[in-house]
Chain A
């Protein structure tokens, strides 16, 4: 009897999509890790170092104490009735937890919430956005999601009708975008960041790629910008951002702004500006410019990947379209409450004068300064290695050095049936236990990069 669900008859979009961040190299690394446990000493290294993914707390980064205090109290509110709690928790974490619980109907952190997220928490996020940008934000524009990624999927689902719908994506890109576009049956329209100019973005390049796609009959719906960039780390200059907004306005594109690394900026001469701020400062009002801005609790200095917290802020969409977005969100009922609470804390952390501020600031600055030092150290190290050149890591959590592979290496790779950078990455893993993602996983075609 034929098996029903077999690879031959799976959804072809599932078969087509790829996600190198947890792909072949990582699966092999997990096998090697098991081998280290069952046969210690059988490999030329003692441990696997996972450098394939932005997962700070798995590599020893500590969570922000204040955030965890609040979350623990919200998880187990009966702590608030015990006298001993005041000796175990800071006073302002106790009052923040009480404040948060008061916004949750019935103080029930175990109940499904409103499908966009708890209103009080969205208010806090909106206030945080307004204070960051100097322009107001509306709680009704915010959808809290299980990490930023589900929000990306939602927009791809909404926008992509068939393979003739295209989405402009940076190359190199974080492969969530290519995977999501493939899963939803659309077409990725690449625009190339320029490695020789620090991964710069020129709107003339965007225009060229856009026109090229249109000439092939592709209806390009949106532009994805990752700022700060992943895997490239560049922080866009303000001028550049104005050009991008003008470009979208002229060409009728929705701007999907992935800003999850907004708190990871390591160079003094660059500053993060949200696209929402840019759009408003250019004079576009609430209804004038369609923009989706993504933020997450996984990155920054908080690094709370495992909590799956994030949100998208949606402005410039008509009411009927927003209803559809709400409807899709409602099928999953709501995102996890811990993640929702964390998103509100990240956007509304302790302030000067708060009891926990000093400790919070020390933790935050300690983490960010260390990240900046490590970015510089690793960039320098790669630039001093034979065959490597590495751009400055201005932001985010990655370096994306270029490796100039010798011809014989490229031939050996071909013979082994692998992309040259994947071949190198595999050899690196097997010799040292270090796990990286080959640049081909991010879309680099002719050159070899590692992340």
Chain B
């Protein structure tokens, strides 16, 4: 007798459990409205070029030449490409025998990994081994690979900040592990709370969970806070005491909008602390070309660097990487260019420096505008975006709004965000997509809309919010 083909109830349960709100309900609704002709401002994902940020000129010149090496043979190529872009294209083509169309080493082109190692050494002051740097199709793939290696079953727990970027919760669900939350302190500028973290770990262990790793996102997503050196030291000591591998998501390290706490890598602090920690704490550090002032999300270029990971484990990670054959070569070249950009004296340097500074200065201004704009709204409280690309304001929803949400069968912040979307076209992600304390609601937006559009966007938001609050907080007429 014929069996029915694939039914929903026969799917892998782990797949069904996965949630990824960044492209979930709000995004799908926004896309629908866009199809119907409504103007939508997508602030649901950190996707700078989609909101008008221009790519940097130099990397695009270099990659175009690498794509079409026949251009290098043309006598007129110097008319439309600067000499240093031409030289750099030749540099990468020499590193990639077979050009952009051949699978590279599964860990990435050795020459690019060397450039990454040199970048890390310049940044931190400690040598870095290219053999322990793996390039990936975006940092997310690297996160997935490491978590897949660590999680054996549902009794393996991963400490994840709340709020977090939901790649982590999604990956943990997918691999059948346990998410062990540690809450950031909103009232202390989203600071780390080790009392809470210790309690979480103890509670998890009491349930028979082995807590294996701790995720830290610095600068934070969605929260934007930048950790101080003291914070990172405490974090590393915590990992040492609790026997955890630290997974340091540092993809926003170029996006810093205050001067009190510049970016400092977990690896630098670890080595500054010296033995025994520097020799024993296991660390995986992530970076990408998608963020910073590069914003080259579509290239899918990332890397992870392993510190104090035993060679046999590295072999297993290499094995899994090899099944995917190799990360995409253009993305690898973008990574090489990002860690080894034009220098003072290079023909392209002035333009590169001007373009970069313009983007970063504008982001800093927008971080302020957005924070101030939210704080001027009724029942909205917003921490300053110290880094990264997002704003995560707290929306103090009145009880009647929460009730209305319940009647509509929606989480309160989803309800608010849907109304915001329909009234203004601003597409955000509800805080529940990132995790938050029970009964405390947020939304995440990006600081990426064009600077000239900001005043209109913030005023549109304020208008919606204040009238929403008026509607649900107005005194009942009894």
Binding site for B on A (CB under 8 A): 1-7, 9-12, 14-15, 17-19, 21-23, 53, 55-60, 63, 65, 68-69, 71-73, 75-76, 78-79, 82, 84-85, 87-88, 105-106, 108-113, 115, 146-147, 149-150, 157-161, 176, 179-180, 183-184, 221, 249-254, 289-290, 298, 303-308, 316-318, 320-321, 324, 327-328, 330-339
| Contact residues in A for B61 (Cβ distance below 8 Å) | 76
Q: Are B312 and A6 in contact (CB under 8 A)?
A: yes
B467 at the interface (CB under 8 A from A): no
Closest to A6 in B: B310
- B319 touching A331, Cβ below 8 Å: no
A-B contact pairs, 28 of them (CB 8 A): A1-B280, A7-B312, A11-B148, A11-B150, A14-B316, A14-B319, A53-B103, A60-B98, A75-B60, A75-B63, A87-B76, A88-B80, A109-B49, A110-B297, A112-B290, A184-B12, A251-B2, A252-B3, A306-B101, A306-B102, A306-B329, A307-B328, A308-B137, A327-B15, A327-B18, A331-B140, A332-B141, A338-B299
Does A11 lie within 8 Å of B151, measured CB to CB? Answer: yes
Report the 4 A-B pairs with minimum CB-CB distance, sorted nearest first. Answer: A252-B3, A58-B98, A306-B329, A76-B64
Closest to B57 in A: A78
Name the residue on A nearest B321 (C-beta). Answer: A22
Choose among B24, B99, B299 the residue that contacts A306 (Cβ–Cβ < 8 A).
B99
Verify if B468 is at the interface (C-beta below 8 Å from A). no
The answer to whether B149 and A14 touch across the interface, beta carbons within 8 angstroms, is yes
Supposing A88-B80, A306-B328, A307-B329 touch, asked if A321 and B11 sit within 8 A by C-beta, the answer is yes
Once A10-B150, A221-B6, A252-B3 are accepted as A-B contacts, the answer to whether A111 and B312 lie under 8 Å apart by CB is no
Task: Return chain B residues, CB-CB under 8 Å to A9.
Answer: 152, 212
Identify which of A84, A183, A253 gathers the most chain B CB atoms within 10 Å of its CB. Answer: A84
Contact at B76–A328, with CB atoms within 8 Å?
A: no
Q: Are A6 and B313 in contact (CB under 8 A)?
A: yes
Residues of B within 8 A of A330 (CB): 20, 22-24
Kindly list chain A residues whose C-beta atoms are within 8 Å of the C-beta of B80. Answer: 79, 82, 84-85, 88
The answer, yes or no, to whether B52 is at the interface (CB within 8 Å) is: yes
Instruction: Tell me the complex Cα distance, A279–B70, Å.
Output: 43
CB contact list, B316-343 vs A, under 8 A:
316, 319-320, 322-331
List of B residues within 8 angstroms of A331 by Cβ: 18, 20, 140, 167, 170-171, 174
Min CB gap A99→B, angstroms: 18
Contact yes or no, A333 B103, CB < 8 A: no
* B contact residues around A321 at 8 Å (CB): 6-8, 11
User: Is B428 interfacial (CB-CB < 8 Å)?
Assistant: no
How far, in whole Å, are A267 and B146 apart by their CA atoms in the complex?
Answer: 44
Q: Tell me, yes or no, whether B100 is within 8 Å of chain A by CB.
A: yes
Q: Point out the residues of chain B lying under 8 angstroms from A65, CB to CB.
A: 70
Tell me which of B76, B144, B320, B323 has the highest count of chain A C-beta atoms within 10 A of its own C-beta: B323
Closest to A59 in B: B98
Taken residue by residue from 58 to 73, chain B's Cβ proximity to chain A (1 for < 8 Å, 0 otherwise) reads as 0011011101111100
Listed in ascending order, the chain B residues whose CB lies under 8 Å from chain A are: 2-8, 10-16, 18, 20, 22-24, 45, 47-50, 52, 55, 57, 60-61, 63-65, 67-71, 74, 76-77, 79-80, 96-104, 106, 137-138, 140-141, 144, 148-152, 167, 170-171, 174-175, 212-213, 240, 243-245, 276, 280, 282, 290, 295-300, 308-310, 312-313, 316, 319-320, 322-331
A336 adjacent to B299 (CB under 8 Å): yes
CA of A251 to CA of B22, assembled, Å: 39
Contacts beyond the supplied A19-B322, A112-B47: 15 A-B pairs with Cβ under 8 Å: A5-B309, A60-B98, A68-B69, A72-B68, A106-B50, A161-B12, A221-B10, A252-B2, A253-B5, A290-B5, A306-B103, A307-B101, A321-B8, A336-B330, A337-B298
What residues of B have a CB within 8 angstroms of the CB of A60 in the complex? 98
In the complex, which residues of chain A have a beta carbon less than 8 angstroms from the beta carbon of B47? 111-112
Known contacts A3-B282, A306-B96, A306-B103, A252 near B212 by CB under 8 Å: no
User: What is the chain A residue whose CB lies nearest that of B246?
Assistant: A4
Q: Which chain A residue has the least Cβ–Cβ distance from B300?
A: A336
Chain B residues, Cβ within 8 Å of A56? 101-102
Query: How far is the CB of B89 from the nearest CB of chain A, in Å?
Result: 11
Q: Is the CB of B20 within 8 A of A75?
A: no
| Docked-complex contact A4 and B282, CB < 8 angstroms | yes
CA A79 – CA B74 in complex, angstroms? 15
In the bound complex, do residue A113 and residue B298 qualify as a contact, i.e. CB atoms below 8 Å apart? yes
**Contact indicator B49/A110 (Cβ below 8 Å):** yes
Please measure, in the bound complex, the distance between the C-alpha atom of A317 and the C-alpha atom of B268, giving whole angstroms: 50
In the assembled complex, the CB of B329 is this many whole angstroms from the nearest CB of chain A, namely 4
Closest Cβ neighbor of A109 among chain B residues: B298
A338 to B328, Cβ gap below 8 A? yes
Q: Could you say which of B63, B101, B167, B245 contacts A63, with CB atoms under 8 Å apart?
A: B101
B415 CB → nearest A CB, Å = 22
Taking CB atoms, residues of chain B closer than 8 Å to A3 are 280, 282, 308, 310
List of B residues within 8 angstroms of A158 by Cβ? 11-12, 15
